[in-house]
C-alpha cells in the first residue's frame, strides 16, 4: 500500500520485499555470520537485541471470551517481525530492526476538540484507567494478509468518555508521533507525516474498537505501535494507528494520511469488504500469516472481517460509495 507524493520518489509495490524473500535473506545472512569469526559475534549481538525486544514487560489482563475469536493465533514472532510501520521503513522487516529508537517513556496523549474536559494523560495513567482485557482479534491488512492476535487493552470508548464529548463531536482524529530523531522513515515522503487516522464517533464508541496497550500478555513491542495504538478489527489494518499522541474530537470528517495520498485507493471508512476491490487488486481472499505453504489455499475474506455486530452502524449506507 505504497503511495507517493511525487513521481521521482515513487516506491513501487514490487520494491516492498516479500516476507519469503527477506526471510531467505536473513537465513543467508545467518549462515554467513555463522561461518565467519567476526560475523558470529555480530550475529550474537543482533540475536541478543532481538531477544531483549521480544521479552517485553508482562501485562496482566482478563480474557474477554465474548469478544475473542477461537481461531489459531499467529505466532508472536510473526506478529512482531512482519509489520507495517512506515515511520521505521517500508519493508515488512524494517520496523523490528529500527523501532528500538522509539522512546515510549515519558509519553502523553492529549484528548481535545469537541469535549467538555480536555485532558493530557500520561501513559501510565492510561494503563490504569480501566481493567485490562485480552481480546483475540483478526486483523486484515488492505494488502491481502491477515493475522490473529491476542491484544491487551480496553474499549476506546472508556477513554473517550473521560473527556465528555459535546453534541458536536461527530468524528475522532488520531494523530501519531512524528519525530525524525526517533523515526528514520520520516525522511522518506511516502506519506504526509504525521500518520493521521480517523473514525466516525459511533464507530469509535463501539465496544469492539480497542485501545491497544499490549499483546501476547506483554506491553506492545515498539514495532507494533508502543505504547498505545488503535485496534479496529472490522476495518483494514491501516485504520489501526500506532503510537498515538493526540486524539481530537471534531464536527467534520478529519483528513487521514492514506486517504490524502490516494483517495481513490484508501477510503475514509475502509471497512473490510470482499465485494469492494482495491483498484489494483482483489479483496475477496486473504493469506493468513503462518499458513504460507505452497499448496495452502487462501481464505475467503469476510464482510466486516467477520465482525457482523458492527453492521448496524452502516444501515442504509452505500458501502461501495463510502468504501
Ligand atoms: N500506524 C502508524 N503510525 N504508521 C504506520 O505505518 N501502518 C498501518 C497500521 N498502523 C501504520 C500504522 C498498517 S498499514 C497496518 S496493516 C497495521 O498498522 C499493522 O499493524 P501490525 O504491524 O501491528 O500488524
pLDDT of amino acid 16: 46
Q: Is residue 16 part of a domain?
A: no
Report whether 154 belongs to an annotated binding site. no
Ligand 1 pocket, mutate which of 224, 225, 230, 232 (most atoms under 8 A from CB): 225
Q: Is residue 264 part of a domain?
A: yes
pLDDT, tens digit (0-9, with 9 covering 90-100), for 176-224 = 999 999 999 999 999 999 999 999 999 999 999 999 999 999 999 999 9
Q: Give the largest CA-CA distance in the chain.
A: 67
Q: Is residue 140 part of a domain?
A: yes
Distance between start and end Cα atoms, the chain? 16
Q: Is 177 in the pocket of ligand 1 (CB under 6 A)?
A: no
Q: Which of 228, 236, 222 is nearest to 111 (CA)?
A: 228
Residues 6+ apart with CB under 8 A from 297: none
Minimum-distance ligand 1 atom for the alpha carbon of 258: 14
* Alpha carbon nearest to ligand 1 atom 11, residue: 85
Q: Is residue 107 part of a domain?
A: yes
Confidence of residue 55 (pLDDT cuts 50, 70, 90): low
| Distance separating alpha carbons of residues 183 and 201, to the nearest angstrom | 30
| Distance separating alpha carbons of residues 259 and 266, to the nearest angstrom | 5
Ligand 1 pocket, mutate which of 77, 199, 219, 240 (most atoms under 8 A from CB): 240
Q: Is residue 24 part of a domain?
A: no
Q: Is 134 in the pocket of ligand 1 (CB under 6 A)?
A: no
Identify the residue with better confidence: 17 or 259: 259
Q: Is 243 in the pocket of ligand 1 (CB under 6 A)?
A: yes
Q: Is residue 255 part of a domain?
A: yes
- For the segment 74-98, the average pLDDT, to the nearest whole number, is 98
pLDDT of amino acid 182: 98
- For the segment 60-78, the average pLDDT, to the nearest whole number, is 98
Q: Into how many domains does the chain fold?
A: 1
Q: Which of 230, 211, 229, 227 is nearest to 219 (CA)?
A: 227
Domain enclosing residue 128, as ranges: 56-314
Q: Which of 86, 81, 96, 99 is nearest to 11 (CA)?
A: 86
- For the segment 78-94, the average pLDDT, to the nearest whole number, is 98
Query: At residue 94, does pLDDT exceed 70?
Result: yes
pLDDT, tens digit (0-9, with 9 covering 90-100), for 215-239 = 999 999 999 999 999 999 999 999 9
pLDDT, tens digit (0-9, with 9 covering 90-100), for 264-280 = 999 999 999 999 999 99
pLDDT of amino acid 172: 99
Are the beta carbons of 148 and 231 closer than 8 angstroms? no
pLDDT of amino acid 47: 45
| Cell reading at 92 | 515488512
Q: Is residue 310 part of a domain?
A: yes
Secondary structure of residue 79 in the 3-state scheme: helix
pLDDT of amino acid 26: 57
Q: Is residue 3 part of a domain?
A: no
Q: Is 141 in the pocket of ligand 1 (CB under 6 A)?
A: yes
Secondary structure of residue 296 in the 3-state scheme: coil
Q: Is 84 in the pocket of ligand 1 (CB under 6 A)?
A: yes
Q: What is the mean pLDDT of the chain?
A: 89
Exposed, middle or buried: residue 156 (CB in 10 Å: 0-12, 13-18, 19+)? buried
The enclosing domain of 233 has a CATH number of 3.90.420.10
Q: Is 99 in the pocket of ligand 1 (CB under 6 A)?
A: no
Amino acid at each position: 500500500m505504497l503511495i507517493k507524493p511525487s513521481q521521482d520518489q515513487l516506491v513501487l509495490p514490487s520494491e516492498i520485499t516479500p516476507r519469503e524473500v527477506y526471510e531467505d535473506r536473513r537465513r543467508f545472512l545467518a549462515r554467513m555470520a555463522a561461518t565467519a569469526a567476526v560475523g558470529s559475534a555480530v550475529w550474537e549481538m543482533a540475536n541478543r537485541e532481538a531477544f531483549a525486544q521480544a521479552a517485553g514487560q508482562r501485562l496482566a489482563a482478563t480474557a474477554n471470551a465474548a469478544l475473542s475469536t477461537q481461531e489459531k493465533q499467529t505466532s508472536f514472532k510473526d506478529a512482531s517481525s512482519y509489520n507495517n510501520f512506515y515511520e521505521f521503513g517500508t519493508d515488512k522487516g524494517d520496523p523490528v530492526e529500527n523501532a528500538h529508537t522509539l522512546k515510549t517513556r515519558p509519553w502523553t496523549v492529549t484528548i481535545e476538540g469537541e469535549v467538555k474536559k480536555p485532558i493530557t494523560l500520561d501513559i501510565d495513567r492510561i494503563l490504569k484507567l480501566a481493567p485490562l482485557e485480552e481480546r483475540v482479534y483478526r486483523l486484515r491488512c488492505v494488502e491481502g494478509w491477515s493475522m490473529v492476535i491476542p491484544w491487551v487493552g480496553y474499549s476506546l470508548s472508556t477513554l473517550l468518555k473521560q473527556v465528555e464529548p459535546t453534541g458536536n463531536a461527530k468524528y475522532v482524529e488520531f494523530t501519531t508521533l512524528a519525530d525524525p530523531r526517533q523515526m528514520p522513515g520520516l525522511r522518506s515522503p511516502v506519506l504526509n507525516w504525521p500518520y493521521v487516522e480517523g473514525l466516525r464517533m459511533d464507530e469509535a464508541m463501539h465496544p469492539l474498537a480497542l485501545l491497544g496497550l499490549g499483546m501476547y500478555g506483554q506491553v506492545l513491542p515498539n514495532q507494533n505501535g508502543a505504547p498505545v495504538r488503535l485496534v479496529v478489527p472490522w476495518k483494514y489494518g491501516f485504520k489501526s494507528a500506532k503510537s498515538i499522541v493526540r486524539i481530537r474530537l471534531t464536527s467534520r470528517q478529519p483528513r487521514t494520511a492514506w486517504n490524502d495520498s490516494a483517495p481513490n485507493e484508501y477510503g475514509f471508512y475502509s471497512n473490510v469488504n470482499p465485494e469492494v476491490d482495491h483498484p489494483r487488486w482483489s479483496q475477496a481472499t486473504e493469506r493468513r500469516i503462518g499458513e504460507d505453504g505452497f499448496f495452502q489455499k487462501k481464505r475467503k475474506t469476510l464482510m466486516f472481517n467477520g465482525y457482523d455486530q458492527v453492521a448496524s452502524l452502516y444501515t442504509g449506507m452505500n458501502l461501495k460509495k463510502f468504501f
